[in-house]
Amino acid sequence: MNIDRRTALVGFASLGAASLLAPLPASAALTAYRPKGSGAVDHSAYDALLRAHVKPDGQAYNRVDYRGVKSNLGALRAYLAALQAVDPVSLSRDEAHAYWINLYNAKTLEVVADAFPVTSIKKINLGGSFLFGSGPWKAKLMTVNGKELSLDDVEHEIVRALFKDPMSHYGLNCASYSCPNLATRAYTGGNINGLLRQTGIDYVNHPRGVAVSNGSITASKIYSWYAGDFGGKSKLKDHWAGLASPEKAAGIAAARISGYEYDWSINSI
């Protein structure tokens, strides 16, 4: 790579319990990964894969063509290898935020596509998560700057701890129905904030994110598991109102939170 270039060219070779998950303190983060530079990453090849295999259903819900991804696993793995060769410390804050979300999502895509057909990511027993039990989240599946990382490491010790942005939850995709959408585009330093907001809007306005009926709110368990990241459960309605349509925001304001649900069914076509 030409070290004088500010853009890292990354492409395909051939193409805890609910409220216990408060924001992680900086001391718990993998602080060696804190972004300190001004570099950027070109995710255009991954962007092309997402555009080809992530299919909106017309109701602001995106399903994934895992069979299509599986047929192109070589290219996806080439992207993942190239991404892991980047030094994320050299990136700007927004570029690093996009980098880690794309790495998490691309690795999840690979794990699920490799096991497909499968009815739930929780049945892919590569290493259980402290919160979710069985699944791939604890397995050391990636290596960045010489350190082996799991999906849990990326989500909890890097994205949540270093960026401290509740909107990150709308970017990280766990390949399940109740998860926020896997975006049809790759995240970049230029679109990270706008795209996370749009994905949040789509989630809050979809019943799997926030459902309002007869004065009661049933919300995704994401808002229970990670309540601390959103300022606590007392702040959830304010957060939702900032993303909801006017009609839904009015319903949220007049309702009370009655419970939380989560459907781990695979988000496939």
Q: Does one domain contain both 76 and 170?
A: yes
In a domain, 35, yes or no: yes
In a domain, 167, yes or no: yes
Predicted TM-score (pTM) of the model is: 0.90
- The token duo for 9 is 């060219």
> Domain end: 159, 179, 200, which one?
200
In a domain, 267, yes or no: no
> Domain end: 200, 223, 250, which one?
200
Q: Does one domain contain both 157 and 68?
A: yes
Segment-wise mean pLDDT, segments of 10 residues, the chain, 269 residues: 35 37 57 95 96 95 98 96 98 98 98 97 79 81 96 95 97 98 98 98 98 98 98 98 98 98 98
Number of domains in the chain: 2
CA distances 1 to 7, 147, 148, 169, 265, Å, are 10, 21, 23, 33, 41
Sequence-distant (≥ 6) Cβ neighbours of residue 115 within 8 angstroms: 123, 124
Q: Does one domain contain both 254 and 229?
A: yes
Largest CA distance in the chain: 61
Q: Does one domain contain both 142 and 66?
A: yes
Q: Give the per-residue pLDDT at 9.
A: 40
Residue 253 structural domain: 210-261
Q: Give the per-residue pLDDT at 30.
A: 77
Q: Give the per-residue pLDDT at 131.
A: 57
Q: Give the per-residue pLDDT at 193.
A: 98
CA distances 241 to 78, 118, 204, 206, Å, are 41, 35, 9, 13
